[in-house]
Amino acid sequence: MPSFRTTRRVKHSPAEMFDLVADVEKYPLFLPLCEGLKVRRKAQSGEGVEVLVADMTVGYKAIHETFTSRVTLDRPRLKILVEYVDGPFRQLENRWSFQPDAEGCVVEFFITYEFRSRTLGLLMGAMFERAFRKFAEAFEERANLVYVVGRRLGSAAERPA
């Protein structure tokens, strides 16, 4: 089963990076392959833990697929877990963690997935791997835009909710 893992040091706090990744509705603005994201449901699940159910549409050229995930936002532990619910995958899970670092934060990202259709896996597999490599960079660039440029401009318009 394909998987991808990356660890990145960024100059933003763990709380800022958690907020940025947790703001899933903004993904279509900056995340490779993400064409749309709609949160269907939000619920509190314990102190500081929120669970979302969301539909994400990904696309590349003529291929467009929508899948549903359950996203557990664990603010006290600065962890995010995304679990597959429905769509073109047989299995999909990704995890984020955000640890304090002397210069900001260490962001860890892990994803494992398997397409339900072997044909779709062959068509999308290599492209997914390239996109995952760009994900960490996309989130870091977004953080710089929101937290560095946004502070300079004094505007809350671009900051995560």
In tens digits, what is the pLDDT along the chain, a chain of 161 residues?
A: 788 898 999 999 999 999 999 999 999 999 988 999 999 999 998 889 999 999 999 887 787 889 999 999 999 999 999 999 998 888 999 999 999 999 899 999 999 988 887 776 766 666 777 777 788 789 989 998 988 875 666 554 445 55
| Within-domain flag for 158 | no
| Within-domain flag for 46 | yes
| Within-domain flag for 117 | yes
Rg (CA), the chain: 16
Residues 145 and 147: their CA atoms lie apart, in Å, by: 6
Please say whether the beta carbons of 102 and 85 come within 8 A: no
Q: What are the angstrom distances between the C-alpha of 113 and each of 61, 80, 88?
A: 21, 17, 11
User: Which pTM value belongs to this model?
Assistant: 0.86
Domain of 31: which CATH number? 3.30.530.20
Helix (H) or strand (E) holding 67: strand 63-74
Please say whether the beta carbons of 89 and 67 come within 8 A: yes
